[in-house]
Amino acid sequence: MSARILVVDDIEANVRLLEAKLSAEYYQVSTASDGPTALAMAASDLPDIILLDVMMPGMDGFTVCKKLKEDPVTRHIPVVLVTALDGRADRIQGLEAGASDFLTKPIDDVMLFARVRSLTRLKLVIDELRQREASGRRMGVIAGAASRLDGLGGRILIIDDNERQAQRIAAELSIEHRPVVESDPDKARISAGGPVDLVIINGAAKRFDGLRFAASLRSTERTRHLPVLAMVDPDDRQRMVKALEIGVNDILPRPIDPQELAARVKTQIQRKRYTDYLRNNLDHSLELAVTDQLTGLHNRRYMTGQLDSLVQRSTLGGDPVAALLIDIDHFKKINDTFGHDVGDEVLREFALRLASNVRAIDLPCRYGGEEFTVIMPDTQLEDAMRIAERIRMHVAGSPFRVAQGRELLTVTISIGVSATLGEHDSPEALLKRADEGVYEAKASGRNAVVARVA
């Protein structure tokens, strides 16, 4: 899995060494020698990962990282700080500036590539979600800004067989979050499937395999995107690399430093809320793409796709398909007399009555304007006629209360009914026959159901 990596360091030898290592693994590498250049390149090139030296003249790496995270254009790009410093205060400062992790000079190649691969996987997911959200915004089906994208108040599941360590972590986190401790991996697996923002696992647990548990979270659909922090001894290089390879989001070095714990937890929860926001927007945009916003019924686009597959199955010897095409009588007169607001009320009320008078397997849709369809799988023409008559009677049988209850309108409908004829039928022919039935119902005085066989 390749990626575009921006290497930032004021010492040319360091830049060339990293560039050579990454290029040998087929990563695309660009370089910058100072903070301002790095900021400009990040905004214009949008790399997948930034490897950023801390000790640079003028603008140091902490400042550059903070500016990257403050800019909406670059805040989603993972930043790994590369430093000769290995002090607690420097790690905390970097995490609070928004860094994803640290690499200490001299750089361990195995850790370098493990971290790069891990962050590349994460970046690919976020990029795909962001692109889909952007498409939704261009189509006008996504609007508004994200809410609650901070990293506080998270629901955290701590899985650890070391009770003293787990309780100490829970006590630290309870200041700003809602932690729960679980020592039984079977019970923890159930809890992880609930409303959890972050899982912290003891990667060196004695009574269960913490990394195997983390791997099981990644292989289960419901928990696949749940962020995981693994507590690992920093000297256990092999376990740290394996944790990153199986999909652990971040490593929490032992012994646990409270401030570093708080910073890493905040980063992971903030990232989860952002990706949840993107996924929810995507789900919403997909729903809007197939739903009529006024009535809540499926739209013509969705109906067409479903009808095509049902009719194709029917022509190959499957169950028959029936279609109702429904037109609200004198709807233009309603709009002209009472206004479009009342017309919209009539459409919404009709959609409710329609949906409540068809079967669970039927597909009621708004076809366009005041026209509606019902696609009816496994339905003979006679059965479709009976259901159509029930809909007609329910609509005409009681007036529509509109204009905030001030007006009562008698509404009637004309319905055309058709059903598939055999192997040479088509969706277009099925709907055309139903449409002819509507015209015949209107010509005969409206408020009628007419079936067309051919």
Task: Tell me the average pLDDT across 118-124.
Answer: 81
Specify the pLDDT at position 409.
92
Residues of the chain above pLDDT 90, percent: 59
Average pLDDT over every residue of 411-419:
96
Q: How far apart are CA 427 and CA 439, in angstroms?
A: 19
Q: Are strands 363-368 and 178-182 parallel, antiparallel or unpaired?
A: unpaired
Q: pLDDT at position 188, please?
A: 92
User: What is the model's pTM?
Assistant: 0.59
Query: What average pLDDT does the chain have?
Result: 88
Enumerate the active-site residues. 370
**Whole-angstrom Cα distance, residue 331 to residue 333?**
5
pLDDT at 204 over 70: yes
CATH 3.30.70.270 boundaries in the chain: 300-451
Q: Could you tell me where in the chain the CATH 3.40.50.2300 domains are found?
A: 1-107, 142-284
Residues whose CB falls within 8 Å of the CB of residue 221, separated by 6 or more in sequence, listed in order: none
pLDDT at 194 over 90: no
8 Å CB contact between 201 and 210:
yes
The CATH class that applies to domain 1-107 reads alpha beta
Tens-place pLDDT, residues 29-71? 999 999 999 999 999 999 999 999 999 999 999 999 999 999 9
Residue with tokens 């990706």: 275
CATH superfamily ID and name for 142-284: Response regulator (3.40.50.2300)
Q: Does domain 300-451 have CATH number 3.40.50.720?
A: no
Query: Which of 67, 16, 59 lies closest to 34, judged by CA?
Result: 59
